[in-house]
Amino acid sequence: MPLYGQVVIGPPGSGKTTYCNEMSKYLTELGRQVAIVNIDPANDTLCYEAAVDVSDLITVEDVMEYVKLGPNGSLIYCIEFLEKRLDWLLEKLKNYSNYYILFDCPGQIEIYTHHNSMKNIMLAIKNELDLRLCCVQLIDGHYCSDPGKYLSALLMCTSTMYQMELPHVNILSKIDIAVKHRSKLLFNLDYYTEVLSLDELLNALQNDPLTARYHRLNEAIVSLIEGQNIVSFIPLNVRDKRTMELARKNIDKANGYVFNSQENKSAEMLNSVMQLDVNDFSFDILENVPNIDSLDT
């Protein structure tokens, strides 16, 4: 029987570690056995108990001290070292053959956009352990407040989706903060989640004196993103089980997860009280976040 899991990636501060912790709890409620694997050698403040921790093999701090590299170079060194010592990770993962696995990954985006080690690690794990993985990319919702940042996020997601060669789900994390400060957003929530006509975004960039000088570059980026047309986002607030369930459904669909009988009952109970689709979400729906305990099943 194949195993399933998520490769949780995204820029620094996008909420990857918090997501892994909360998604682990949520999936456990559904009846899954979940193991979180930390493969971020710079993450020394875990809010969960890691089943496997790359820090037992190598850390950024040690590389900085003994190899004399800077923080970014040290992280690349660590990931390349993990690729060479992949046997260590595979042996550890074999102890969790009946678990749903969440990989908590580093925040250095170049290891997902054009560096090959992370891709090679995940493809090797996928093939060696028959592990069906979905790449879950978290983008901080505050990127929506700035047209330039949002455009860069779209370009980064497009690049990552091709580079990682895995089923992919993009998530706008901390959406509750975006809702709280929605007066600073130029468009409605569905514009950002569905990635609607980027002509409007291009106009906003052209009207900004700081970005107007780069109009031809912005046009080229917009043309590239629209030409590929592969990016959309799921809104997520980890305190709102409706958005957690929406993320879970899309991720399970992406990697082909098959429910067991107990999970199926729990999922049916959840769906009976949360009949929502991504197109249903709006600022008004997300403004009043329910108490998470009130939705326990």
Residue 117: give the domain boundaries. 3-187+233-284
List per-block mean pLDDT (blocks of 10 residues) for the chain, which spans 297 residues.
89 94 95 95 91 96 95 96 96 94 96 95 94 96 92 96 96 90 87 90 91 92 94 94 93 88 64 56 54 36
Show the beta-strand stretches assigned E in 86-127.
100-104
- Is residue 164 assigned to a domain? yes
Q: What is the pLDDT of residue 194?
A: 92
Is position 195 within any domain?
A: no
Residue 36 main-chain phi, psi, to 5 deg: -105, 130
Give φ, ψ of 257 to 5 degrees: -60, 140
Q: How many CB atoms lie within 10 A of CB 48?
A: 17
**Rounded Cα gap, residues 47 and 289, in angstroms:** 23
CATH number of the structural domain spanning residue 80: 3.40.50.300
Q: What does the pLDDT read at residue 296?
A: 35
**Total domains, the chain:** 1
Q: For residue 192, is it within any domain?
A: no
Residue 254 has a CB neighbour count (10 Å cut-off) of 18
Closest CA relative to residue 131, chosen from 169, 92, 105, 98: 98
Q: How confident is the model at residue 259, as a pLDDT?
A: 76
At 104 the three-state DSSP class reads strand
Question: Does some domain include residue 216?
Answer: no
Helical ranges in 207-274 per DSSP H: 215-228, 241-255, 261-273
Instruction: Tell me if 140 is assigned to some domain.
Output: yes
Determine, yes or no, domain membership for 211.
Answer: no
| Residue 56 included in any domain | yes
